[in-house]
Amino acid sequence: MSAEPEDVDCRSFKDWVLKKETELRLEVDNDDTLDIKLISGSAEVFGTELAVGKVYTICSRLKIALFTWYGCTLRVIGSPSVHYQSGETPMIMYLNAHSAIDQLRTKYEANGRIGPKVLVVGPSDVGKSTLCRTLLNYAVRMGRHPCFLDVDIGQGSICIPGSMAILPVVRPCDLETGEFSKKACLVYHYGHSSPGPNLKLYKTIVSELASMFKERCQANSQTKTGGCVINSCGWVDGGGYKALLHVANAFEVDVVLVMDHERLYNDLQRELPSSTHIVPLPKSGGVVVRSREFRKMSRHQATREYFYGKKSHRLFPFSFEVSFSDVQLFKIGAPAVPESALPIGMEQEDGSTQLIPVEASRSLVHSIFSLSMATTLEEDLTVTASAGFLCITAVDEEAKTLTVLSPAQGPLPRKFLLQSDITFLDLE
C-alpha cells in the first residue's frame, strides 16, 4: 500500500472496508485526535456526509460512528481507544422517522401550519442528542431549515452547561467538532445542570423559547416549514417527567420520539393529546454509557470549551478587570423559608423566579455568570437572552474589581450579571 503525503506522519493507519448498512464505531482518548479519510464509496457521521479524499480530524472526547448506506472504504489514521464494526444499527428506523417527519413538513406547509415540532425523549445514554443531530442533518440535506432547541441543561450541545438555546440550522453539523454553526443562536441562562433545583424557572424559560420559536416562524417562511427538533434531559421520572410534559405542552409538539423506554412511552400516550404522534425508537448498541463522574467531567470540559475551544479548533478568551460599580450581580430564585419559620397562617411565597442581588466577594471566584442582554431592570431578566457567559477568576475586595474570563474583549457591553451554580476552575 503506498502512503499518501498526509498519511506520512509517523502515525499508523488502518483501512476499513464497510459493507452496506454497517458502521465503524470509534472512540478517541482524552488528549488524542484521530484523522479519518473516506477513500471510496459514501459514509456519514450521524447524518453529516464525508467528502471523498478529505482528511477529517476528530477531536478528543468524541465517540462516533461512521455509517454507510451503500458500502465504503475508510482510512483511520492514529490510534483510536475503541474501534469496531457493527451491522446492527437502528439507522433505517431513524431514517424512516426522518421521512415521516418530512412528509409532515410538506403537509403542514400546504395547510399554512408551522412545520412539525419534534421532541426527542428518553433516559440517559440512549442517543437522544445523536438522534437530534441526525434528524437535523437529514432535514438540511433536503434543503429544509429546521430549528434546533436544546433544553438539556446538563449535557446540552449548543452552549455552556446551565443554559438553553434555540439555533436555526441551515448547514449540516461540523463533523470535526460535532457542532452546528452558532450563527443566529439565542441562549438563555438557567443556572443549574438539572431542572430539579428550580423547576418553575426551567418551565418559564422553556415557555419563552417556545414563543421565540413561534416568532421566528412568523418572520421566516423557511423556518416555519422546517419546524423544530427539541433535545431533552435524560431525567424522565418525577420532576424530570413534569419538565418533559411542560416542554411538550409549551411547544404543542406534533411528534414525540421516545427512545428505549416503554413506561415513558405509555405515560406520554396517556397524557398528551391524541393528535400527537408518539413513536417508540430503539437505542443504538453503539451509544456509549457514561458514568456520573464522566458526565461531571464532560460538563467541565464543555465549560472549558466555551472559553478555550477544542484542541483542533482553539479559541483565545480574554481576561480583564471589571469594576464593581460597572456591574450588578444577581441570582434567580430565593431559597424557600422553612415552614417552621413562617408566621402562623402565612403561606410560603414562591420566590423561584425572583431576582436576588448578589454581593461581589471572593466567594464568587470560579462562578460562571451570564451577561444579560437587558439594559434596564424594567425588563424581565429571567426571560431575557444572554449576551454571553463569563467566569470570575479573581476578586479584589480592596480595589473593588473583578477579573473575568470572557470569550469577548472588554469592556462588557451590558451590566447585569446572573450567577449560575456551575463553576469552572481555569487552569490554562
**d(C-alpha 177, C-alpha 313), whole Å:** 8
Across the beta sheet with 63-68, what order do the strands follow? 48-49, 44-45, 63-68, 22-27, 82-86
Residue 25 interacts, among ligand ATP, Mn ion, none and using kind-specific CB cut-offs from 5 to 8 Å, with ligand ATP
Is 193 a binder of Mn ion (CB under 5 A)?
no
Shortest Å distance, C-beta 145 to ligand ATP: 23
**d(C-alpha 183, C-alpha 204), whole Å:** 24
Q: Which is nearer to Mn ion, 178 or 317 (CB)?
A: 178
Is 155 a binder of Mn ion (CB under 5 A)?
yes
* Beta bridge partner(s), residue 188: 164
Instruction: Determine the residue with CB nearest Mn ion.
Output: 129
**d(C-alpha 354, C-alpha 78), whole Å:** 52
Query: If binding means CB under 6 A, how many residues of this protein chain bind ligand ATP?
Result: 18
**d(C-alpha 173, C-alpha 361), whole Å:** 41
- Binding part of the chain for ligand ATP, among 121-129, 179-187, 202-210, 242-250 by CB under 6 A, reads 121-129
Which residue type sits at 245? Answer: L
Is 401 a binder of Mn ion (CB under 5 A)?
no
* Beta bridge partner(s), residue 304: none
Shortest Å distance, C-beta 193 to Mn ion: 13
Q: Which is nearer to ligand ATP, 7 or 32 (CB)?
A: 32
- Binding part of the chain for ligand ATP, among 279-287, 322-330, 339-347, 389-397 by CB under 6 A, reads 279-287
- What would the grid cell of residue 28 be? 478517541
Q: Which is nearer to Mn ion, 155 or 193 (CB)?
A: 155
Is 63 a binder of Mn ion (CB under 5 A)?
no
**d(C-alpha 199, C-alpha 206), whole Å:** 10
Is 299 a binder of ligand ATP (CB under 6 A)?
no
Q: Which residues contact 65 (CB under 8 A, 6 or more apart)?
A: 23, 24, 25, 26, 45, 46, 86, 89, 284, 286
Residue 130 interacts, among Mn ion, ligand ATP, none and using kind-specific CB cut-offs from 5 to 8 Å, with ligand ATP
Which residues are at the interface with Mn ion (CB under 5 A)? 128-129, 155
Point out which residues bind ligand ATP (CB under 6 A): 25, 63-65, 124-130, 152, 155, 234, 284, 286-288
